[in-house]
Amino acid sequence: MENKCKIIKDLLPLYVEDMLSEESKKFIIDNIEDCPECKIELEELKLNIEEEKYLDSKPLEFLDKEIKKDKRINLFALGFGLLSLFIIFLSYISSPIYFPYSEDLINLTSTEEKHIIEFSEEVTGYNIQDISSLDSEKNEVWIEAWKTPLDSLLPPRKSLTLVIDKPAVLLYSSNNGEVATQLQEGRGGKDFNGMMLPRLAQNYYLMLSIILSGVIGIILYVVKPKPLAPYNFFTIPFSYMLAHIGIFLPRGVNYTYDLTRDFIYIVLLTIAINIFLQLILKIRKRKI
């Protein structure tokens, strides 16, 4: 019996790994039922093998999680990079191209109480600025009209009509550095001693971002911190600088007549670029 148990114990590892023939398995099962010691040996062997499998799988599970995490970070970085390009593209195709004044552009019908302006079919958008005065006869309404690059690809639309329900001096701004045109009844107009000036505030923000990027860049170059966390402060002004360039460079100008619109696009692009750069830093950190 003792020799038989020794044989069974030698075969138990193969039995647990399911590497025996059916006859050998039956031989072991029949003898285990009659030998408590062999049965205990089998249970202990099963527990040890399960524990070894669990311990062996831990490093593989960790490696698998890290690989999946790297893939997610890379996908997010790619996504925000593409989002940045899309914001630049959207800003460009929706940017206003202002019309210079011409007699074919505007047809004005005026009464004592209101003015009705009919734009040509090319005009797809307009804006008015009401400059009120204590003297109601000198109220000024500045008008600008435009189309966008996207409109050139779309079918023609119905011509736009603007109604101004009060007496006012109507001034059309071409937004091209020329003086405004004072609109007259019908399709006439005459030069006005004044013009709408472009907004340049965004250029001051650009200068501030360049200065901050330079100062932080010099500090990081001198200190050369091993952790990459301090570089996160550099990405914010640097992202704004890139965003400003991305919005204005495709248009070939560094000024705007719609500061609110362009500033919103700059902020959105700054956020997208900053997240993209942060993810790039994170990818670099994980490779170090």
Distance of alpha carbon 145 from alpha carbon 177, whole angstroms: 15
Digit-coded pLDDT (tens) for 213-240:
888 888 877 877 666 555 677 888 999 9
Which amino acid, one-letter code, is at 188? Answer: G
* 179's tokens: 């003086």
- Which residues pair with residue 108 across a beta bridge? 117, 186
Does pLDDT of 255 surpass 80? yes
Q: What confidence category does residue 274 fall into, taking pLDDT thresholds of 50, 70 and 90? A: very high
Residue 67: the pLDDT is: 79
Residue 135: the pLDDT is: 52
CA dihedral 273→276→282→284, nearest 10 degrees, is -90
Distance of alpha carbon 141 from alpha carbon 171, whole angstroms: 6
Distance of alpha carbon 185 from alpha carbon 78, whole angstroms: 56
Q: Which residues of 182-205 are buried (b: 16+ CB within 10 A; e: fewer)?
A: bbeeeeebeebeebbeeeeebeee
Cα-flanking dihedrals φ and ψ of residue 53, to 5°?
-65, -40
Q: Which residue has the higher pLDDT, 85 or 1?
A: 85
Other CB atoms within a 10 A radius of the CB of residue 175 amount to 23
CB 97 within 8 A of CB 120: no
Distance of alpha carbon 254 from alpha carbon 206, whole angstroms: 10
**Chain position carrying tokens 């500033």:** 263
CB 93 within 8 A of CB 147: no
Distance of alpha carbon 180 from alpha carbon 194, whole angstroms: 6
Q: Which residue has the higher pLDDT, 147 or 34?
A: 147
Distance of alpha carbon 247 from alpha carbon 219, whole angstroms: 28
- Which residues pair with residue 186 across a beta bridge? 108
Digit-coded pLDDT (tens) for 172-183:
999 888 888 988
Distance of alpha carbon 247 from alpha carbon 243, whole angstroms: 6
* 174's tokens: 């071409």
Does pLDDT of 133 surpass 90? no
CB 196 within 8 A of CB 257: yes
Which amino acid, one-letter code, is at 221? Answer: Y
Digit-coded pLDDT (tens) for 87-111:
999 999 999 999 999 888 999 988 8
CB 239 within 8 A of CB 274: yes
Strands 115-119 and 97-98: unpaired
Chain centroid offset of residue 82 CA? 8
Residue 219: the pLDDT is: 81
**Chain position carrying tokens 């031989």:** 27
